[in-house]
Copies of this chain bind each other. A is one copy, B any other.
């Protein structure tokens, strides 16, 4: 069927070992013989068998990424950047998603490892310790992203710091009756840290949320929850756990005839594309997704090469656009 090393070796008049070297470590073979071999490879239209190579070399050049969903632009962009940062041709990216279901995440991790992944990119820290143990036993290097912590290698950011900065901004504007529209926190440390971080800052000021809603990712979920939160007429600001929820809230506000930011302040988190498409444009927390993907790729390669890579903490930043303002009570009528 397909040409093998033997065919190539025969045609080039060398041994299979030399052919293999030409492919994997060209410098260790004389230019002259290399030329012969490469020519034989071309004429035979030869390409190495993946399984055989993986079996013999004990690595696949495949890196696995397990994310909640690609429907969330945050992960789609991060993965995209991650993939671009992988050394051309040396690695390929195996992508799996789990729809925010922890059980399914575990299966996906196992599936990728079973597929021979040399390393893994995972989202957040929150998962069954057994998974980390299993990974340790299998000696599969991994990098966590979109969060930070000292228990595992990561390339991420501090969700608490991000939300705290945002809530501080809202407080500084004069808001005291604030509600939070959070993503589902179960098994999601990013959402949980954002919610708890905000709560903690409020507590520090002797305040607490007027209301808290926890809803699944999605525009309509955000819209619906916002309407419910605003049933409390005292609320003057709604801090959202992510941009999609915030965009949904904004839409609901329009429908309800509420002016943003005059009647109500709405803030997001992530700074994905939609944040600058809404009207008015969304005030949100910028997360360096692209840079994070790149750093994660670099770190993971270190680990795969057996080096002891250094985790990296990226800064988040408030992007003040058009959906925030002082509460009505603090303004001249």
Q: A-side interface residues toward B, CB under 8 Å?
A: 2, 45, 47-56, 58, 60-62, 69-71, 73, 76-77, 79-80, 83-84, 88-89, 92-97, 99, 107, 110-116, 137-138, 219, 244, 247, 250-251, 254, 273-274, 276-279
Contacts and interface: CB of A to CB of B under 8 A. Distances in A.
Nearest to A80: B70
5 contacts: A49-B116, A51-B54, A62-B115, A71-B77, A92-B115
A110 to B, nearest CB: 8
A116 B70 contact: no
Contact of A54 (B50, B61, B76, B83): B50
B116 A51 contact: yes
Nearest to A281: B251
B97 A95 contact: no
Contacts of A107: 88-89
A112 B92 contact: yes
Question: Can you list the 9 inter-chain pairs with the closest CB atoms, starting with the nearest?
Answer: A51-B54, A50-B116, A51-B55, A279-B279, A76-B76, A70-B80, A95-B95, A70-B76, A92-B115
A71 B70 CA distance: 10
A62 B112 CA distance: 10
Given A54-B54, A279-B279, 11 more contacts: A50-B114, A51-B51, A55-B55, A60-B115, A83-B95, A88-B107, A93-B94, A93-B95, A95-B95, A219-B273, A278-B279
A115 B50 contact: yes
A83 B70 CA distance: 10
Contacts of A254: 279
Nearest to A218: B273
Nearest to A77: B71
A305 to B, nearest CB: 19
Contact of A76 (B56, B60, B62, B71): B71
Contacts of A110: 47
Contacts of A278: 277-279
Most B CB contacts (10 A, CB to CB) among A69, A71, A251, A276 go to A71
Contact of A111 (B77, B89, B273): B89
A219 B279 CA distance: 15
A169 B143 CA distance: 50
Contact of A277 (B53, B60, B247): B247
A71 B80 contact: yes
Contacts of A76: 70-71, 73, 76
Contacts of A88: 107
Contact of A274 (B48, B77, B113, B273): B273
Contacts of A48: 114
A304 to B, nearest CB: 16
